[in-house]
Amino acid sequence: MSTMDKDFLKGNPERSTSSDSTPVYGESTSRRASLGQRVLGSFQRDPNAHVTAFASFSDGKTYDIENATEKAANSPLHRSLRGRHLQMIAIGGSIGTGLFVSSGRVLATGGPASLLIAYALIGCMLYCAVHALGEMAVIFPVAGSFAHYSTRFIDPAWGFAMGWNYALQWLAILPLEIVAAAITVDYWESNISSAVWVALFWAAIVSINLFGVKGYGEAEFVFSSIKVIAVIAFIILGVILNCAGGQNGSYIGVKYWHDPGAFHHGFKGLCDVFVNAGFAFAGTELVGLAAAETANPRKSLPTAIKQVFWRITLFYIVSLTLVGLLIPYTEPRLINGTSTVDTKASPFVIAIKNAGIEVLDSVMNVVIMIAVLSVGNSAVYGSSRTLAALAEQQQAPRFLGYIDRKGRPLWAICIASAMGLLGFLAATDKQEVAFEWMIAISGLSSIFTWGSICLAHIRFRRAWKVQGNSLHDLAFRSQPGIIGSWIGFAFNCLVLVAQFWVGFAPIDYETMSASMLARNFFSKYLAAPVVLLFYIPYKLRFKTKILRAKDMDLRTGRRELNIQWLMKEERAQQAAWPAWKKIYKFFC
């Protein structure tokens, strides 16, 4: 085993990555480079970077998956994330406008029952997908994560489409979240132009990501902690308000489920809100993408994956149940919000204002602003790492694979940051149109991503069995298992079908012109043709094939090849745990 691998297994990421601080023999400490020289030097290419020497097309016509797998497994990204970073990324990393603001539009469209059912079903589907991702990411913590798993276990053409689908999703979300943060400030009726706030928030997000993965991890730890505290506080407040603890002291109970009702627009109203629910959960899979930059993924990733259950249950299901109890779907402010990201239409803010509690609505608005900045921060991270991984596997322009001495995919970060400048559309009269298409690109993309994760896990398990391996050799196993992946994959397909239906025949299609119907369809289903535009030409050009289970590479990039003895020792210790600890560790 190499020295790098030994240091990695010992959990020492500093020695397992490149460094520009190695002293030259005979050089005294007094001759160290100045701060400015060290900062400039950190932007130089990492000596371990290898994308320029990688030819993925061995004969110019076929894709060399063996080289792609090797490069993904040996990416020079730094392993600086700790367990606490991953846990907070998993628990609250993507809580933003999807929960705090867009849930109001879901409530107005489908009613409180549709709100709860849609988020619960998407949450169950996501639970299966994230556990499937966790199983693969623990054993293969490689750059590109789920996009690479599609290349490795399904078809290189599908992996190419999924990688670009995911990158475009985050590239579209970044300006959307920056504008959402700028519009949030308008809640206080500021006279300052939205363009000024867009510039400030854009600069803050870019600066955080220029500190590298450690800067992203620390920022997410702080942001997510604030969001978690705020949601828990709202749940406590919501229970009090519902039980006659408001200003007028009247008991609410389930009154609004009877009048105006639990459902709005019936079954089609339920189908119409799945994309909004998917948009709200987007980003949960980032915990798998971060595995390649984690000090000890075998230890920290399983715990972070298990936290997703609590995030779905507590922060989405419980809080949105209370939202449906406190606000009727006929509430005018839900329907008349000036934009998709208008916090005046946030059901959380409306519930507090209806209770007549002074100042607290402004506090909640600050939390929403922090939440959307957090998602914007994740957008730069997610898109830049995906673009860099695609470049390393020769599925994106080569320059995007430039990784500097601090482990930053520099050009990929620059591309993502440049896309954030679209946030200045907030200062124009085209912001509504821009928001609509940004959400169209990003909303359905997550459904494709999660479905592909489940399918890749199904194919991985098949290859694992065919090649003579035992499930006991896996450091972490998905709790819902292969059955959960089949359920998750099937439900993702059903959501795509349901969304096609409401896109083709929306709720009020009788009153819509042909051009309005076309615009409605693409605003709800744009991600599907985008995926096909990436998949079909690539498939035809390089003639890639669906991989057979016996031919899949299950060795390159594996992190526990030499620690089976340690796993056996850990399992022996776990067998001796008391029952309460086994139950706790199962969920946490």
Q: For 182-230, what is each residue's pLDDT tens digit? A: 878 888 877 888 888 889 999 999 999 988 888 888 888 899 889 889 9
| Residue 69 forms part of a structural domain | no
119's tokens: 């988020």
pLDDT of 19 strictly over 70? no
Give the residue with greater pLDDT, 410 vs 88. Answer: 410
Give the residue with greater pLDDT, 587 vs 476. Answer: 476
**Per-residue confidence (pLDDT) for residue 20, from 0 to 100:** 45
List the beta bridge partners of residue 409: 403
| Residue 18 forms part of a structural domain | no
Share of the chain above pLDDT 90, in %: 24
Q: What is the pLDDT of residues 502-548, one digit of tens each?
A: 888 887 777 777 888 887 788 778 888 889 999 999 999 888 889 99
Q: What is the pLDDT of residues 81-116, one digit of tens each?
A: 787 878 777 776 668 778 888 888 889 889 999 999
C-alpha–C-alpha distance, residues 307 and 351, integer Å: 28
Question: What is the mean predicted confidence (pLDDT) over 279-290?
Answer: 82
Tokens 């390393």 found at: 392
**Per-residue confidence (pLDDT) for residue 412, from 0 to 100:** 92
Q: What pLDDT band is residue 327 in, cutting at 50, 70 and 90?
A: very high
Distance of CA 143 to the CA centre of its chain: 15
Give the residue with greater pLDDT, 451 vs 354. Answer: 451
Residue 310's H or E segment, with its range, is helix 297-310
pLDDT of 427 strictly over 80? no
**Per-residue confidence (pLDDT) for residue 405, from 0 to 100:** 82
**Per-residue confidence (pLDDT) for residue 27, from 0 to 100:** 43
pLDDT of 8 strictly over 80? no
Ramachandran quadrant class, 56 (left: phi over 0; alpha: psi -120 to 50; beta: rest): alpha
C-alpha–C-alpha distance, residues 47 and 582, integer Å: 45
Q: What pLDDT band is residue 6 in, cutting at 50, 70 and 90?
A: very low
**Per-residue confidence (pLDDT) for residue 58, from 0 to 100:** 44
Average pLDDT across the chain, whole number? 81
Per DSSP, 243 falls in state B
Q: What is the pLDDT of residues 27-63, one digit of tens each?
A: 444 456 677 776 676 667 766 665 444 444 444 556 6
C-alpha–C-alpha distance, residues 415 and 104, integer Å: 32
Owning domain of residue 435: 80-551+563-587
Query: Which amino acid is present at 533?
Result: L
| Residue 538 forms part of a structural domain | yes
Out of 309-318, 350-359, 556-565, pick the least confident: 556-565
Question: What is the mean predicted confidence (pLDDT) over 261-266?
Answer: 88
| Residue 59 forms part of a structural domain | no
**Per-residue confidence (pLDDT) for residue 166, from 0 to 100:** 92
| Residue 291 forms part of a structural domain | yes
CB atoms within 10 A of CB 144: 30
Q: Residue 562 — φ and ψ, nearest 5°?
A: -115, 20
Give the CATH number of the domain where residue 275 resides: 1.20.1740.10
Q: Are 545 and 155 in contact (CB under 8 A)?
A: yes
558's tokens: 């594996």
Question: What is the mean predicted confidence (pLDDT) over 226-240?
Answer: 91
430-442: string of b/e by CB count within 10 Å (b at 16+)? Answer: ebeebbbebbbbb
**Per-residue confidence (pLDDT) for residue 11, from 0 to 100:** 43
317's tokens: 């299901």
Count CA atoms within 13 Å of residue 54 on its CB side. 30
95's tokens: 């809580």
Number of domains into which the chain is organized: 1
| Residue 473 forms part of a structural domain | yes
Share of the chain above pLDDT 70, in %: 82
pLDDT of 287 strictly over 80? yes
Instruction: For CA atoms 30, 31, 33, 34, give the dihedral sign.
Output: positive
**Per-residue confidence (pLDDT) for residue 321, from 0 to 100:** 93
DSSP code per residue over 257-309: IIIIIS-SSHHHHHHTTHHHHHHHHTTTTHHHHGGGGBS-HHHHHHHHHHHHH
Instruction: For CA atoms 528, 534, 539, 545, give the dihedral sign.
Output: negative
Q: Return all residues near 217 (Cβ < 8 A) that are at least 6 apart.
A: 80, 81, 82, 85, 89, 290
| Residue 30 forms part of a structural domain | no
**Per-residue confidence (pLDDT) for residue 28, from 0 to 100:** 43
Question: What is the mean predicted confidence (pLDDT) over 466-471?
Answer: 89
CB atoms within 10 A of CB 22: 7
C-alpha–C-alpha distance, residues 86 and 303, integer Å: 9
pLDDT of 565 strictly over 90? no
Q: What pLDDT band is residue 570 in, cutting at 50, 70 and 90?
A: low
| Residue 34 forms part of a structural domain | no
Q: What is the CA radius of gyration of the chain?
A: 24
